[in-house]
Chain A
Amino acid sequence: QVQLVESGGGLVKPGGSLRLSCAASGFTFSDYYMSWIRQAPGKGLEWVSYISSSGSTIYYADSVKGRFTISRDNAKNSLYLQMNSLRAEDTAVYYCVYGPLDYWGQGTLVTVSS
């Protein structure tokens, strides 16, 4: 079965950096596009970034453009999100999502606070 396991979240100060990882299994990772979607505490869902199956096409939400970088390693069945210049408003649970929203990981919490 499809499994997506995020890691790398934690507490970071404003202006700091974090790198999230997502380990995928149960499907041919290299065949599917992937996304990061976040949810601030008590709030709705917000799309963050998209990467095509090969990694050649990438999109970002305006709110993270220039600060976040999505990448993938198809040999390792892994998805990444490098987050720099973090702000308080980036505080959220970050979900790794397979394809057209079919499967979601359990999420990893990122807290940006001094």
Chain B
Amino acid sequence: QAGLTQPPSVSKGLRQTATLTCTGNSNNVGNQGAAWLQQHQGHPPKLLSYRNNNRPSGISERLSASRSGNTASLTITGLQPEDEADYYCSAWDSSLSARVFGGGTKLTVL
């Protein structure tokens, strides 16, 4: 099953803003929106945002998600050392009847 496309890595400085992207098609991101997950080494993923910009309780307001067409984005402002992690996007694909994931973006905070 075809996945979503994410850049493998993004590097930004402390207190800067990082924008991570996730490209799919009209059957997944363009239709259902995307969820964003954060994963620190050795831990299970944690949901940051679902259906584009709905944040679960407890998730920092420094994170915001959006969508334009078939591309979803996650913006993290005021980068902190604890933001350094792997970030995955995911969407339900209505034509495949399957959930698809991006390959993940490793965010490095310099």
Contacts and interface: CB of A to CB of B under 8 A. Distances in A.
B37 A101 contact: yes
Interface in B47-105: 47, 50-51, 56, 88, 90, 97-104
B44 A61 contact: no
Nearest to B86: A44
Interface stretch (A15-23, A70-78, A103-111): A103-111
Nearest to B6: A44
Contacts of A44: 88, 101-104
B44 A59 contact: no
Contacts of A37: 99
A103 B47 CA distance: 7
B45 interface: yes
Contacts, number: 48
B35 interface: yes
A44 B86 CA distance: 9
A45 interface: yes
Interface in A15-66: 35, 37, 44-47, 50, 59, 61-62
Interface residues of A, number: 19
Contacts of B35: 100-101
A95 interface: yes
Interface of A: 35, 37, 44-47, 50, 59, 61-62, 95, 100-107
Contacts of B1: 61-62
Contacts of B50: 100-102
Contact of A45 (B47, B51, B98, B101): B101
A46 B77 CA distance: 28
Which 9 A-B pairs have CB atoms at the shortest separation, nearest pair first?
A47-B99, A104-B44, A44-B104, A45-B101, A101-B47, A59-B97, A44-B103, A101-B35, A45-B88
A95, A101, A104, most chain B CB atoms within 10 A: A101
